[in-house]
Amino acid sequence: MPRRTPRARRSRAQLAHKDLEVRLASARTVALLRDKESQPLLIGLVADKDNVLRIAALDALGDLGDPAAGSAIATALADPDWQVKASAVAAARKIRAKETIGPLVLLLRDEGRIAADAMQALVAITGDSYDRAELWERWWERTGARYVVPTAAELKARAEAMKASRARYGPVREDGTQYHGIETPSKRILFIIDVSGSMDELVIDRAAFEGRGYKSYTKMEIAKGELSRTLEGLGPNVRFNILAFAAEVIPWKKGLVQANVVNRSNALKWVEKLQPIGGTSAQALSSALGGGNLEKGRTNTYGALTAGLDLAGRGTQDRYYESEIDTIFFLSDGRPTAGEYVETDDIVQRICEMNRLKKLVLHTIAIGQFQKDFMRDLAERNGGVFVDLGK
């Protein structure tokens, strides 16, 4: 609540004092008192001709922490005075307003400290951690119109996933890869994504997925959006491939390819075309025709994982078949319903046996309403990290 103490009112009034030192002291005081009623006056001071007063006003706005100051701070991010600009970056980091994101992305093209500060602010605001200006620019171009700043709870969930991966790997280099908050230093990665019919369903807890620029809130669009985000950020020294699966496995390529501009672009186009097999529209058509075979839309978890392990090679025990892949990201939305094995305990046991010599790291990502213990077991027993995206 705003402070209405005599001291707050007096300090607020002195923001318009003729003496510069009095105004500077007043700006510091209203911030210390968390006097929200002073915010309109501080916003006015952001345009003052005196750069010292602009700095004091921005510092105070940052301490007040109200996103309503976003437009004024966004304007100050283009201030010609570098100290003012630095104060604006610090304030933007604290208030976490959408209006500041675009100007912060522009600052990444500056040299030296301001660019570094702007990147740290973007990470604090969004929870994302791209390490190059062009990646932030592509991300903002794609998501800016629909973007909603994540809540503190959402940032906490992402931070916990990152913490788990860093505990396993240690600090990840700048050219590392991140997928659903899991970071890896691997340069030989396979992404396996579920395209079974149930991926056509809307997520239940929509609030948990807001602000990420998805085209819709189906599980398929969320999975595609995050995979596209990761593919765009792959470094040129990374080799990768993608498998989509429902009852059958659909590979993008026969093996790993370099993450150069052409291959990343082709992969993004392939991912964009992915649709749930036997989803809502297919079920409706089947019903209208009086039946039909929707078996292809079932979930063959075992088949997808074994296909991924087969792509990795026969293991390092055979010098002619060294493992091509060392890390797998596996995303699915439900219990196995098709394939050679559908019991989750059987799948976990057999995948662990197959991976005993291959030594692949298997990260798992679950989305939707189903018992997720087996996804956690798959990750933990194969050196990976489990992330639950929610319902």
| Secondary structure element (H or E) that encloses residue 63, with its range | helix 51-64
* Whether residue 107 has pLDDT greater than 70: yes
Pairing of strands 239-245, 249-251: antiparallel
Q: Which residue has the tokens 């911030």?
A: 31
Strand 188-194 vs strand 239-245: parallel, antiparallel, or unpaired?
parallel
Q: 307, 347 in Cβ contact below 8 A? A: no
Q: How confident is the model at residue 36 (pLDDT cuts 50, 70, 90)?
A: confident
Complete DSSP assignment for 305-331: HHHHHHHH-S-TTSTTS--S--EEEEE
Tell me the whole-structure pTM to 2 decimals: 0.56
Whether the per-residue pLDDT at 293 is higher than 60: the answer is no
Dump pLDDT digits (tens) for 155-207.
887 777 666 655 554 444 455 677 877 888 788 899 999 999 888 888 777 76
Give the right CATH number for 6-126 from 1.10.540.10, 1.25.10.10, 4.10.640.10, 3.60.21.10: 1.25.10.10
SS3 333: coil
**pLDDT average, residue stretch 34-57:** 87
**For 152-388, CATH number?**
3.40.50.410
Q: pLDDT tens digits for 322-355?
A: 447 888 999 998 788 888 988 989 999 999 888 8
Q: How much is the pLDDT for 27?
A: 83
Domain range list for the chain? 6-126, 152-388
What is the structure's pLDDT at 3?
A: 47
CB 68 within 8 A of CB 37: no
